[in-house]
Structure 1
Protein backbone atom coordinates (compact mmCIF):
# COMPACT_ATOMS: atom_id res chain seq x y z
CA UNK A 1 0.00 0.00 0.00
CA UNK A 2 1.02 3.61 -0.55
CA UNK A 3 0.86 5.24 2.89
CA UNK A 4 1.17 8.95 3.67
CA UNK A 5 2.87 9.70 7.01
CA UNK A 6 1.94 13.09 8.48
CA UNK A 7 4.28 13.01 11.50
CA UNK A 8 7.15 15.50 11.99
CA UNK A 9 10.29 14.49 10.12
CA UNK A 10 12.19 12.71 12.92
CA UNK A 11 9.29 10.50 13.96
CA UNK A 12 8.04 10.15 10.39
CA UNK A 13 11.32 8.69 9.19
CA UNK A 14 11.12 6.04 11.90
CA UNK A 15 7.57 5.19 10.87
CA UNK A 16 8.63 5.05 7.22
CA UNK A 17 11.25 2.43 8.06
CA UNK A 18 8.61 0.33 9.83
CA UNK A 19 6.26 0.61 6.85
CA UNK A 20 9.02 -0.45 4.45
CA UNK A 21 9.69 -3.52 6.61
CA UNK A 22 5.98 -4.34 6.33
CA UNK A 23 6.16 -4.12 2.54
CA UNK A 24 4.41 -0.76 2.15
CA UNK A 25 5.52 2.37 0.30
CA UNK A 26 5.84 5.24 2.78
CA UNK A 27 5.38 8.84 1.65
CA UNK A 28 6.50 11.51 4.12
CA UNK A 29 4.33 14.60 4.52
CA UNK A 30 5.39 16.39 7.72
CA UNK A 31 2.91 19.20 8.37
CA UNK A 32 4.80 20.83 11.25
CA UNK A 33 8.22 21.01 12.83
CA UNK A 34 9.30 21.58 16.44
CA UNK A 35 10.78 24.87 17.59
CA UNK A 36 12.66 23.97 20.76
CA UNK A 37 12.81 26.20 23.84
CA UNK A 38 16.10 24.86 25.16
CA UNK A 39 17.00 27.70 27.53
CA UNK A 40 13.56 27.70 29.15
CA UNK A 41 13.71 23.94 29.60
CA UNK A 42 17.18 24.09 31.14
CA UNK A 43 16.03 26.79 33.54
CA UNK A 44 12.91 24.82 34.48
CA UNK A 45 15.03 21.81 35.38
CA UNK A 46 17.31 23.95 37.52
CA UNK A 47 14.38 25.55 39.33
CA UNK A 48 12.61 22.28 40.22
CA UNK A 49 13.48 19.05 41.95
CA UNK A 50 10.50 16.70 41.61
CA UNK A 51 9.31 14.23 39.01
CA UNK A 52 9.07 15.08 35.31
CA UNK A 53 6.19 14.29 32.96
CA UNK A 54 6.20 14.25 29.16
CA UNK A 55 3.40 13.42 26.75
CA UNK A 56 5.48 13.51 23.56
CA UNK A 57 8.84 12.28 22.36
CA UNK A 58 9.52 15.82 21.14
CA UNK A 59 9.95 16.82 24.79
CA UNK A 60 12.64 14.15 25.19
CA UNK A 61 14.42 15.47 22.12
CA UNK A 62 14.43 18.93 23.67
CA UNK A 63 16.00 17.44 26.79
CA UNK A 64 18.61 15.76 24.62
CA UNK A 65 19.49 19.12 23.08
CA UNK A 66 20.37 20.49 26.53
CA UNK A 67 23.49 18.34 26.59
CA UNK A 68 25.74 17.99 29.65
CA UNK A 69 23.60 20.16 32.02
CA UNK A 70 20.93 17.44 31.85
CA UNK A 71 23.13 14.90 33.66
CA UNK A 72 22.22 15.87 37.27
CA UNK A 73 18.52 15.39 36.45
CA UNK A 74 18.66 11.88 35.01
CA UNK A 75 17.88 10.37 38.41
CA UNK A 76 14.54 12.19 38.68
CA UNK A 77 11.42 10.06 38.12
CA UNK A 78 10.07 10.57 34.61
CA UNK A 79 6.52 9.75 33.54
CA UNK A 80 5.87 9.26 29.83
CA UNK A 81 2.93 8.46 27.58
CA UNK A 82 3.72 5.51 25.33
CA UNK A 83 6.52 2.99 25.02
CA UNK A 84 8.31 4.86 22.23
CA UNK A 85 8.63 8.03 24.32
CA UNK A 86 9.65 6.02 27.38
CA UNK A 87 12.33 4.22 25.37
CA UNK A 88 13.74 7.54 24.17
CA UNK A 89 13.90 8.72 27.79
CA UNK A 90 15.73 5.54 28.83
CA UNK A 91 18.15 5.84 25.91
CA UNK A 92 18.87 9.40 27.00
CA UNK A 93 19.86 8.09 30.43
CA UNK A 94 16.82 8.49 32.67
CA UNK A 95 16.88 5.74 35.29
CA UNK A 96 13.37 5.75 36.75
CA UNK A 97 10.92 5.82 33.84
CA UNK A 98 7.21 5.10 34.33
CA UNK A 99 5.14 4.41 31.24
CA UNK A 100 1.44 4.82 30.60
CA UNK A 101 -0.22 3.58 27.44
CA UNK A 102 -3.04 5.67 26.13
CA UNK A 103 -3.75 9.34 26.67
CA UNK A 104 -2.54 12.06 29.00
CA UNK A 105 -5.49 11.31 31.26
CA UNK A 106 -4.17 7.79 31.83
CA UNK A 107 -0.71 9.19 32.53
CA UNK A 108 -2.20 11.41 35.25
CA UNK A 109 -3.85 8.34 36.78
CA UNK A 110 -0.50 6.53 36.82
CA UNK A 111 1.18 9.50 38.50
CA UNK A 112 -1.56 9.53 41.12
CA UNK A 113 -0.92 5.87 41.94
CA UNK A 114 2.83 6.45 42.28
CA UNK A 115 2.65 9.88 43.92
CA UNK A 116 3.17 8.70 47.51
CA UNK A 117 6.47 7.03 46.58
CA UNK A 118 8.14 9.88 44.70
CA UNK A 119 9.72 13.13 45.99
CA UNK A 120 6.97 15.44 47.17
CA UNK A 121 7.60 18.45 44.99
CA UNK A 122 5.43 19.88 42.21
CA UNK A 123 5.52 17.78 39.06
CA UNK A 124 7.34 19.42 36.13
CA UNK A 125 5.32 18.94 32.96
CA UNK A 126 7.48 19.56 29.90
CA UNK A 127 4.78 20.31 27.35
CA UNK A 128 4.40 21.25 23.74
CA UNK A 129 2.21 23.82 22.06
CA UNK A 130 -0.46 23.27 20.92
CA UNK A 131 -1.53 20.38 23.14
CA UNK A 132 -4.61 18.59 24.41
CA UNK A 133 -5.97 19.75 27.77
CA UNK A 134 -6.71 16.31 29.23
CA UNK A 135 -3.47 15.70 31.12
CA UNK A 136 -3.38 19.00 32.99
CA UNK A 137 -7.11 18.88 33.69
CA UNK A 138 -6.84 15.43 35.22
CA UNK A 139 -3.81 16.39 37.33
CA UNK A 140 -5.87 19.26 38.71
CA UNK A 141 -8.77 16.92 39.43
CA UNK A 142 -6.45 14.55 41.27
CA UNK A 143 -4.98 17.42 43.36
CA UNK A 144 -1.47 16.78 42.08
CA UNK A 145 0.60 19.99 42.15
CA UNK A 146 2.38 20.67 38.88
CA UNK A 147 4.18 23.30 36.87
CA UNK A 148 3.81 23.42 33.09
CA UNK A 149 6.74 24.61 30.99
CA UNK A 150 6.45 24.66 27.21
CA UNK A 151 9.67 23.14 25.97
CA UNK A 152 8.76 23.20 22.28
CA UNK A 153 6.23 24.66 19.88
CA UNK A 154 5.03 22.99 16.69
CA UNK A 155 5.29 25.37 13.74
CA UNK A 156 3.27 24.71 10.60
CA UNK A 157 5.23 23.88 7.47
CA UNK A 158 4.11 25.53 4.25
CA UNK A 159 3.14 22.77 1.84
CA UNK A 160 3.40 23.64 -1.84
CA UNK A 161 0.55 22.59 -4.13
CA UNK A 162 3.12 20.84 -6.33
CA UNK A 163 4.02 18.56 -3.42
CA UNK A 164 0.40 17.65 -2.75
CA UNK A 165 -0.22 17.14 -6.47
CA UNK A 166 2.65 14.66 -6.57
CA UNK A 167 1.40 12.83 -3.48
CA UNK A 168 -2.32 12.67 -4.22
CA UNK A 169 -2.90 13.51 -7.90
CA UNK A 170 -0.04 11.90 -9.80
CA UNK A 171 -0.45 8.70 -7.75
CA UNK A 172 -3.27 7.91 -5.35
CA UNK A 173 -2.71 7.39 -1.63
CA UNK A 174 -4.15 4.19 -0.16
CA UNK A 175 -3.97 5.43 3.42
CA UNK A 176 -3.05 8.47 5.51
CA UNK A 177 -1.75 8.03 9.07
CA UNK A 178 -3.04 10.65 11.54
CA UNK A 179 -1.36 10.90 14.94
CA UNK A 180 -2.90 14.03 16.48
CA UNK A 181 -6.10 16.06 16.33
CA UNK A 182 -4.15 19.18 15.40
CA UNK A 183 -2.37 17.42 12.54
CA UNK A 184 -5.64 16.00 11.22
CA UNK A 185 -7.24 19.46 11.25
CA UNK A 186 -4.24 20.91 9.41
CA UNK A 187 -4.26 18.13 6.81
CA UNK A 188 -7.90 18.58 5.87
CA UNK A 189 -7.57 22.38 5.82
CA UNK A 190 -4.84 22.36 3.16
CA UNK A 191 -6.27 24.50 0.34
CA UNK A 192 -5.18 22.10 -2.41
CA UNK A 193 -7.02 19.20 -0.81
CA UNK A 194 -10.08 21.32 -0.15
CA UNK A 195 -10.20 22.21 -3.84
CA UNK A 196 -9.69 18.59 -4.91
CA UNK A 197 -11.60 16.55 -2.34
CA UNK A 198 -12.25 13.90 -4.97
CA UNK A 199 -8.58 12.90 -4.69
CA UNK A 200 -9.36 11.39 -1.28
CA UNK A 201 -12.36 9.37 -2.44
CA UNK A 202 -10.58 6.02 -2.13
CA UNK A 203 -8.17 6.89 0.69
CA UNK A 204 -8.38 5.40 4.19
CA UNK A 205 -7.67 7.61 7.20
CA UNK A 206 -6.09 5.67 10.03
CA UNK A 207 -6.42 7.51 13.35
CA UNK A 208 -4.66 6.92 16.63
CA UNK A 209 -7.78 7.78 18.66
CA UNK A 210 -11.42 8.77 18.45
CA UNK A 211 -10.49 12.37 19.27
CA UNK A 212 -8.31 12.47 16.15
CA UNK A 213 -11.04 10.90 14.03
CA UNK A 214 -13.35 13.77 15.00
CA UNK A 215 -11.18 16.07 12.88
CA UNK A 216 -11.98 14.10 9.71
CA UNK A 217 -14.71 15.81 7.63
CA UNK A 218 -18.13 14.12 7.94
CA UNK A 219 -18.13 13.29 4.23
CA UNK A 220 -15.11 11.04 4.80
CA UNK A 221 -16.18 9.33 8.04
CA UNK A 222 -16.83 6.08 6.21
CA UNK A 223 -13.12 6.03 5.31
CA UNK A 224 -11.96 6.23 8.93
CA UNK A 225 -10.45 3.42 11.01
CA UNK A 226 -9.42 3.95 14.64
CA UNK A 227 -6.65 2.04 16.39
CA UNK A 228 -7.71 -0.32 19.20
CA UNK A 229 -5.04 1.24 21.40
CA UNK A 230 -3.46 4.70 20.98
CA UNK A 231 -0.04 3.37 19.95
CA UNK A 232 1.69 2.96 16.63
CA UNK A 233 1.62 -0.86 16.68
CA UNK A 234 -2.18 -0.76 16.80
CA UNK A 235 -2.32 1.98 14.17
CA UNK A 236 -0.15 0.10 11.68
CA UNK A 237 -2.10 -3.10 12.32
CA UNK A 238 -5.07 -1.36 10.67
CA UNK A 239 -3.25 -1.55 7.34
CA UNK A 240 -3.87 -5.29 7.29
CA UNK A 241 -7.46 -5.03 8.50
CA UNK A 242 -8.98 -4.61 5.03
Structure 2
Protein backbone atom coordinates (compact mmCIF):
# COMPACT_ATOMS: atom_id res chain seq x y z
CA UNK A 1 0.00 0.00 0.00
CA UNK A 2 1.04 3.61 -0.57
CA UNK A 3 0.64 5.15 2.89
CA UNK A 4 0.78 8.87 3.65
CA UNK A 5 2.68 9.72 6.84
CA UNK A 6 1.58 13.12 8.15
CA UNK A 7 3.71 13.22 11.31
CA UNK A 8 6.47 15.83 11.86
CA UNK A 9 9.72 14.93 10.15
CA UNK A 10 11.58 13.33 13.10
CA UNK A 11 8.69 11.01 13.94
CA UNK A 12 7.83 10.46 10.26
CA UNK A 13 11.22 8.92 9.49
CA UNK A 14 10.74 6.27 12.19
CA UNK A 15 7.20 5.52 11.02
CA UNK A 16 8.40 5.27 7.40
CA UNK A 17 10.99 2.68 8.37
CA UNK A 18 8.35 0.60 10.12
CA UNK A 19 6.09 0.80 7.07
CA UNK A 20 8.88 -0.37 4.76
CA UNK A 21 9.55 -3.31 7.06
CA UNK A 22 5.86 -4.21 6.78
CA UNK A 23 6.07 -4.14 2.96
CA UNK A 24 4.33 -0.80 2.41
CA UNK A 25 5.49 2.30 0.54
CA UNK A 26 5.60 5.35 2.83
CA UNK A 27 4.74 8.74 1.35
CA UNK A 28 6.11 11.47 3.61
CA UNK A 29 3.91 14.53 3.97
CA UNK A 30 4.78 16.27 7.26
CA UNK A 31 1.99 18.75 7.93
CA UNK A 32 3.53 20.58 10.87
CA UNK A 33 6.92 21.42 12.30
CA UNK A 34 7.81 22.00 15.92
CA UNK A 35 9.04 25.32 17.29
CA UNK A 36 10.63 24.64 20.67
CA UNK A 37 10.69 27.03 23.65
CA UNK A 38 13.21 25.58 26.12
CA UNK A 39 13.44 28.90 27.98
CA UNK A 40 9.72 28.67 28.82
CA UNK A 41 10.18 25.07 29.97
CA UNK A 42 13.10 26.04 32.21
CA UNK A 43 11.13 28.88 33.80
CA UNK A 44 8.17 26.57 34.41
CA UNK A 45 10.36 23.92 36.02
CA UNK A 46 11.75 26.49 38.45
CA UNK A 47 8.27 27.14 39.86
CA UNK A 48 6.51 25.00 42.50
CA UNK A 49 5.11 21.73 41.17
CA UNK A 50 4.42 18.27 42.54
CA UNK A 51 5.02 16.28 39.34
CA UNK A 52 5.30 16.64 35.58
CA UNK A 53 2.92 15.61 32.82
CA UNK A 54 3.55 15.29 29.08
CA UNK A 55 1.13 14.24 26.36
CA UNK A 56 3.67 14.19 23.54
CA UNK A 57 7.27 13.12 23.01
CA UNK A 58 7.76 16.58 21.50
CA UNK A 59 7.57 18.10 24.99
CA UNK A 60 10.32 15.70 26.09
CA UNK A 61 12.47 16.86 23.17
CA UNK A 62 12.10 20.42 24.45
CA UNK A 63 13.20 19.35 27.93
CA UNK A 64 16.21 17.55 26.46
CA UNK A 65 17.43 20.85 25.03
CA UNK A 66 18.09 22.01 28.59
CA UNK A 67 21.03 19.62 28.84
CA UNK A 68 22.56 19.51 32.32
CA UNK A 69 20.05 22.09 33.56
CA UNK A 70 17.45 19.33 33.42
CA UNK A 71 19.37 17.11 35.86
CA UNK A 72 17.73 18.43 39.09
CA UNK A 73 14.30 17.36 37.77
CA UNK A 74 15.09 13.89 36.41
CA UNK A 75 14.10 12.21 39.69
CA UNK A 76 10.67 13.83 39.78
CA UNK A 77 7.55 11.86 38.93
CA UNK A 78 6.67 12.26 35.25
CA UNK A 79 3.30 11.16 33.92
CA UNK A 80 3.45 10.26 30.21
CA UNK A 81 0.42 9.81 27.98
CA UNK A 82 1.54 6.46 26.56
CA UNK A 83 4.42 4.08 25.97
CA UNK A 84 6.07 6.08 23.16
CA UNK A 85 6.19 9.27 25.23
CA UNK A 86 7.30 7.29 28.28
CA UNK A 87 10.17 5.78 26.29
CA UNK A 88 11.24 9.25 25.14
CA UNK A 89 11.22 10.41 28.77
CA UNK A 90 13.29 7.41 29.81
CA UNK A 91 15.82 8.15 27.07
CA UNK A 92 15.98 11.76 28.30
CA UNK A 93 17.00 10.48 31.74
CA UNK A 94 13.80 10.55 33.77
CA UNK A 95 13.77 7.79 36.36
CA UNK A 96 10.27 7.87 37.88
CA UNK A 97 7.85 7.54 34.96
CA UNK A 98 4.21 6.54 35.13
CA UNK A 99 2.67 5.76 31.75
CA UNK A 100 -0.97 6.12 30.77
CA UNK A 101 -2.92 3.99 28.32
CA UNK A 102 -2.48 6.37 25.39
CA UNK A 103 -5.09 9.15 25.58
CA UNK A 104 -5.21 12.42 27.48
CA UNK A 105 -8.45 11.47 29.22
CA UNK A 106 -6.95 8.20 30.46
CA UNK A 107 -3.82 10.00 31.66
CA UNK A 108 -5.95 12.42 33.65
CA UNK A 109 -7.69 9.48 35.34
CA UNK A 110 -4.32 7.95 36.21
CA UNK A 111 -3.04 11.19 37.72
CA UNK A 112 -6.25 11.65 39.72
CA UNK A 113 -5.29 8.54 41.67
CA UNK A 114 -2.14 10.27 42.91
CA UNK A 115 -3.46 13.82 43.31
CA UNK A 116 -4.15 13.46 47.04
CA UNK A 117 -0.39 13.23 47.60
CA UNK A 118 0.40 16.46 45.73
CA UNK A 119 1.65 19.39 47.81
CA UNK A 120 1.79 21.69 44.75
CA UNK A 121 0.15 21.79 41.32
CA UNK A 122 0.93 19.32 38.55
CA UNK A 123 3.05 20.94 35.82
CA UNK A 124 1.71 20.12 32.36
CA UNK A 125 4.33 20.75 29.66
CA UNK A 126 2.16 21.21 26.59
CA UNK A 127 2.17 22.12 22.94
CA UNK A 128 -0.04 24.38 20.91
CA UNK A 129 -2.49 23.58 19.37
CA UNK A 130 -3.59 20.58 21.43
CA UNK A 131 -6.65 18.57 22.33
CA UNK A 132 -8.44 19.83 25.46
CA UNK A 133 -9.25 16.32 26.71
CA UNK A 134 -6.37 16.04 29.18
CA UNK A 135 -6.93 19.39 30.85
CA UNK A 136 -10.69 18.80 30.93
CA UNK A 137 -10.04 15.49 32.64
CA UNK A 138 -7.82 17.11 35.27
CA UNK A 139 -10.49 19.71 36.02
CA UNK A 140 -13.21 17.07 36.25
CA UNK A 141 -11.10 15.17 38.78
CA UNK A 142 -10.19 18.33 40.73
CA UNK A 143 -6.47 17.87 40.07
CA UNK A 144 -4.61 21.17 40.62
CA UNK A 145 -2.38 21.94 37.65
CA UNK A 146 -0.61 24.65 35.69
CA UNK A 147 0.00 24.48 31.94
CA UNK A 148 3.19 25.71 30.28
CA UNK A 149 3.20 25.82 26.47
CA UNK A 150 6.74 24.78 25.60
CA UNK A 151 6.38 24.20 21.86
CA UNK A 152 4.23 25.22 18.91
CA UNK A 153 3.27 22.96 16.03
CA UNK A 154 3.14 25.28 13.05
CA UNK A 155 1.58 24.24 9.71
CA UNK A 156 3.81 23.66 6.70
CA UNK A 157 2.64 25.32 3.49
CA UNK A 158 2.40 23.23 0.31
CA UNK A 159 1.06 24.31 -3.06
CA UNK A 160 -1.78 22.41 -4.71
CA UNK A 161 0.39 21.03 -7.52
CA UNK A 162 2.69 19.37 -4.99
CA UNK A 163 -0.22 17.98 -2.95
CA UNK A 164 -1.80 16.56 -6.09
CA UNK A 165 1.44 14.85 -7.12
CA UNK A 166 1.87 13.36 -3.64
CA UNK A 167 -1.69 12.07 -3.33
CA UNK A 168 -2.56 11.07 -6.89
CA UNK A 169 0.62 10.16 -8.77
CA UNK A 170 -0.14 7.30 -8.25
CA UNK A 171 -3.14 7.44 -5.88
CA UNK A 172 -2.42 6.72 -2.24
CA UNK A 173 -4.22 3.90 -0.42
CA UNK A 174 -4.17 5.16 3.16
CA UNK A 175 -3.26 8.11 5.36
CA UNK A 176 -2.08 7.80 8.96
CA UNK A 177 -3.57 10.45 11.27
CA UNK A 178 -2.24 10.78 14.81
CA UNK A 179 -3.84 14.06 15.95
CA UNK A 180 -6.93 16.17 15.37
CA UNK A 181 -4.80 19.02 14.03
CA UNK A 182 -3.08 16.81 11.45
CA UNK A 183 -6.45 15.37 10.44
CA UNK A 184 -7.79 18.89 9.94
CA UNK A 185 -4.77 20.00 7.93
CA UNK A 186 -4.78 16.89 5.75
CA UNK A 187 -8.48 17.24 4.96
CA UNK A 188 -7.94 20.89 4.05
CA UNK A 189 -5.10 20.00 1.66
CA UNK A 190 -6.97 17.04 0.20
CA UNK A 191 -10.32 18.83 -0.21
CA UNK A 192 -9.85 19.68 -3.94
CA UNK A 193 -9.04 16.02 -4.67
CA UNK A 194 -11.47 14.15 -2.44
CA UNK A 195 -13.51 12.74 -5.35
CA UNK A 196 -10.35 11.16 -6.71
CA UNK A 197 -9.50 9.83 -3.24
CA UNK A 198 -12.86 8.14 -2.71
CA UNK A 199 -11.29 4.85 -1.64
CA UNK A 200 -8.48 6.17 0.57
CA UNK A 201 -8.44 4.76 4.11
CA UNK A 202 -8.27 7.25 7.00
CA UNK A 203 -6.33 5.34 9.66
CA UNK A 204 -6.83 7.22 12.94
CA UNK A 205 -5.15 6.97 16.32
CA UNK A 206 -8.44 7.49 18.20
CA UNK A 207 -12.11 8.43 17.98
CA UNK A 208 -11.06 11.98 18.85
CA UNK A 209 -8.97 12.17 15.66
CA UNK A 210 -11.61 10.47 13.51
CA UNK A 211 -14.20 13.14 14.40
CA UNK A 212 -12.43 15.53 11.98
CA UNK A 213 -12.89 13.34 8.88
CA UNK A 214 -15.64 14.61 6.51
CA UNK A 215 -18.91 12.72 6.82
CA UNK A 216 -18.79 11.36 3.28
CA UNK A 217 -15.65 9.41 4.18
CA UNK A 218 -16.83 7.91 7.46
CA UNK A 219 -17.11 4.50 5.78
CA UNK A 220 -13.35 4.72 5.06
CA UNK A 221 -12.31 5.38 8.66
CA UNK A 222 -10.35 2.86 10.67
CA UNK A 223 -9.66 3.54 14.35
CA UNK A 224 -6.85 1.90 16.31
CA UNK A 225 -7.98 -0.52 19.02
CA UNK A 226 -5.33 1.02 21.29
CA UNK A 227 -4.05 4.58 20.80
CA UNK A 228 -0.44 4.05 19.78
CA UNK A 229 1.48 3.43 16.59
CA UNK A 230 1.29 -0.34 16.94
CA UNK A 231 -2.50 0.00 17.00
CA UNK A 232 -2.46 2.21 13.93
CA UNK A 233 -0.15 0.04 11.84
CA UNK A 234 -2.11 -3.10 12.74
CA UNK A 235 -5.00 -1.69 10.66
CA UNK A 236 -3.05 -1.69 7.37
What's 2:40 paired with? 40
1:26 aligns with 2:23: no
Give the conservation status (yes or no) of the 8 Å contact 2:83–2:102: no
Give the conservation status (yes or no) of the 8 Å contact 2:62–2:151: yes
Classify the secondary structure of the residue corresponding to 1:238.
Answer: coil
Q: Which runs of 5+ in 2 are unaligned?
A: none
Cα distance between partner residues in 2 of 1:187 and 1:23: 24
TM-score by length of 2: 0.96
Task: Please list, as runs of the form range in 1=range in 2, the aligned pairs for 1:1-242 lying within 5 A after superposition.
Answer: 1-117=1-117, 119-190=118-189, 193-239=190-236
Give the conservation status (yes or no) of the 8 Å contact 2:164–2:193: no
Judge which range, 89-98 or 60-69, deviates more: 60-69
Classify the secondary structure of the residue corresponding to 1:79.
Answer: strand
Deviation at 1:65, TM superposition (A): 1.2
Pairwise CA RMSD:
1.2
Cα distance between partner residues in 2 of 1:16 and 1:198: 26
Judge which range, 171-180 or 133-142, deviates more: 133-142
Cα distance between partner residues in 2 of 1:5 and 1:196: 18
Deviation at 1:115, TM superposition (A): 3.0
Give the conservation status (yes or no) of the 8 Å contact 2:123–2:146: yes
CA deviations 1:66-115 (Å, max 9, x no partner) are 11111111011000011010000001100000000131111111111123
Classify the secondary structure of the residue corresponding to 1:85.
Answer: helix
Deviation at 1:121, TM superposition (A): 1.5
CA deviations 1:35-66 (Å, max 9, x no partner) are 11111111111123420000011100111111
Judge which range, 173-182 or 119-128, deviates more: 119-128
Deviation at 1:162, TM superposition (A): 3.0
Cα distance between partner residues in 2 of 1:141 and 1:205: 31
CA deviations 1:119-173 (Å, max 9, x no partner) are 5221000011111111111111212111100011110100122321221121110
Cα distance between partner residues in 2 of 1:220 and 1:140: 34
Give the conservation status (yes or no) of the 8 Å contact 1:168–1:199: no
Deviation at 1:116, TM superposition (A): 4.0
Deviation at 1:13, TM superposition (A): 1.0
Classify the secondary structure of the residue corresponding to 1:4.
Answer: strand
Give the conservation status (yes or no) of the 8 Å contact 2:177–2:203: yes
Give the conservation status (yes or no) of the 8 Å contact 1:3–1:177: yes
Cα distance between partner residues in 2 of 1:138 and 1:226: 22
